[in-house]
Amino acid sequence: MIQAEFLMAEGGAAAGFHITGHAGGEAGTDIVCAAVSSAAYLVANTLTEVMGVKPRELRAEDGDMLLELASGDRQKCRELLLGLRLHLEGLMQQYPDSVRVTGTDI
């Protein structure tokens, strides 16, 4: 199962995300994994390469992606992270056995 955890700072500000796991399909052919990975990389690349944000922490390994924003960048990145969360929640509704979206206060 893919776990998408959205990191929430004080006051409800989006502080980043941590996505782990696999949907369980065959590697390279699983549409749920592909949809989640593609969306997460789109957001990470937009934040870092287009908007010039320097995350407090960023790592991407097989089945594990973490992006945590510095406090000064959270407000300007809010809408993009909200869009990712809405997208992943839609996938969770379509594929409830493959995707779980949660929020965690940091």
**Cβ proximity of 40 and 17 under 8 Å:** yes
Give mean pLDDT, residues 79-89: 96
pLDDT at residue 29 in the model = 63
CA-to-CA distance for 7 and 68, rounded, in angstroms?
8
CATH of the domain at 52: 3.30.70.1490
pLDDT at 12 over 80: no
In this prediction, residue 10 carries a pLDDT of: 81
Rounded to an integer, what distance in angstroms lies between the CA atom of residue 105 and that of residue 6? 9
Instruction: Tell whether the model's pLDDT for residue 106 goes beyond 70.
Output: no
Q: In what order do the strands lie in the sheet with 57-61?
A: 57-61, 64-68, 14-20, 2-8, 99-105
Residue range 2-16: mean pLDDT, rounded: 89
pLDDT per residue over 18-74, tens digit each?
A: 999 987 766 666 899 999 999 999 999 999 999 999 999 999 998 899 999 999 999
Report d(CA 19, CA 1) in Å as an integer. Answer: 10
Structural domain containing residue 78: 2-105
pLDDT for res 25: 67
36: amino acid identity, one letter: V
The domain tally of the chain equals 1
